[in-house]
């Protein structure tokens, strides 16, 4: 298989393509406006982080890798590691919040809409972004889609499969935005809450990963029904998937802890300099 064949859409998803292209385009326009407003400023690493995140979503969701994720458990776990952890974190670190600068005016003025229209959306957002609810949903979705009966159904149903992947991506974006979004710059208020949230999500992921890795029986037989992409022992496939769920996913939360601490230190240094 050539490189072009690997990156070509395996199953064309117009919704995903439009979403990613729109995200990339609006970010670019917003970044251009930001550079005009702040002449001399450099945002190389933010731009790199953002577009790396967008590209990684495309790779795991729209290329030959998406095909492999439907026939290999460990590739599936890698796909969700990217969709739920790595890509959203990179996009948030890239400063996705600046996109509001380039949005159409009617979207900027959404708060002027009648409460009956915007109310349900605002309430839903505030609920899912509550510091208690957000980590529960973050971990809960991982567990939900790995319940054997639900996982079996999702891998055999196109609609459920897309719902699974979209839910992981959207929740990942919401969670990491709550943790490291531009609305929080390191102020004491919310610092401890964010540390606790990240600690809370680490332990359940480690327990799940350990269970998948150390289990003495094959848990997901759907890959036997569909057939694996290449010959590999079912137990080896499950162990690899368990390790991915256990270690890299947990390390992403540890990385989040480091970034939260770093932001808090930067804020404190800035405050100390202002008082001198």
Grade residue 276 by pLDDT with cuts at 50, 70 and 90: low
Q: What is the mean pLDDT of residues 227-250?
A: 92
Q: At residue 1, does pLDDT exceed 90?
A: no
C-alpha separations of 244 from 1, 100, 206 in Å: 26, 35, 10
Do residues 258 and 198 make contact, with C-beta atoms less than 8 angstroms apart?
A: no
CA-atom Rg of the chain in angstroms: 20
- Low-confidence winner among 47-61, 132-146, 220-234, 253-267 (lowest mean pLDDT): 220-234
- pLDDT tens column, 164-219: 999 999 999 999 999 999 888 888 889 999 999 999 999 999 999 999 999 989 99
Q: Pull the structure tokens for residue 80.
A: 């969700």
- List CB contacts of 245: < 8 A, sequence separation 6 or more: 77, 81, 142, 205, 208, 209, 212, 213
How far apart are alpha carbons 80 and 165 in whole angstroms? 7
* CA separation for the pair 74, 245 (Å, rounded): 9
What SS3 state is found at 184?
coil
Which of 1-10, 29-38, 223-232, 251-260 bottoms out in mean pLDDT, i.e. has the lowest? 1-10
């Amino acid at each position: 298989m050539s490189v072009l064949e690997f990156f070509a859409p395996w199953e064309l998803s117009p919704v995903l393509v439009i979403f990613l292209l729109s995200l990339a385009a609006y970010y670019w326009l917003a970044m251009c406006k930001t550079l005009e407003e702040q002449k001399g400023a450099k945002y190389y690493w933010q731009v790199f982080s953002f577009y790396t995140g967008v590209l990684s979503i495309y790779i795991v969701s729209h290329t030959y890798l998406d095909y492999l994720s439907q026939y290999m458990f460990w590739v599936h776990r890698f796909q969700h590691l990217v969709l739920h952890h790595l890509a959203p974190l990179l996009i948030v670190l890239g400063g996705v919040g600046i996109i509001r600068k380039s949005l159409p005016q009617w979207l900027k003025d959404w708060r002027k809409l009648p409460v009956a229209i915007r109310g349900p959306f605002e309430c839903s957002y505030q609920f899912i972004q509550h510091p208690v609810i957000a980590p529960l949903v973050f971990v809960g979705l991982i567990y939900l889609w790995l319940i054997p009966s639900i996982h079996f159904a999702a891998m055999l149903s196109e609609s459920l499969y897309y719902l699974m992947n979209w839910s992981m991506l959207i929740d990942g974006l919401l969670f990491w935005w709550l943790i490291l979004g531009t609305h929080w710059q390191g102020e004491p208020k919310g610092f401890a809450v964010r540390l606790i949230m990240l600690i809370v999500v680490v332990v359940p992921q480690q327990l799940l990963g350990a269970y998948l890795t150390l289990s003495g029986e094959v848990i997901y037989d759907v890959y036997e029904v569909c057939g694996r992409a290449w010959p590999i022992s079912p137990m080896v496939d499950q162990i690899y998937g368990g390790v991915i769920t256990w270690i890299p996913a947990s390390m992403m939360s540890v990385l989040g802890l480091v970034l939260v601490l770093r932001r808090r230190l930067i804020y404190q240094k800035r405050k100390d300099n202002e008082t001198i």
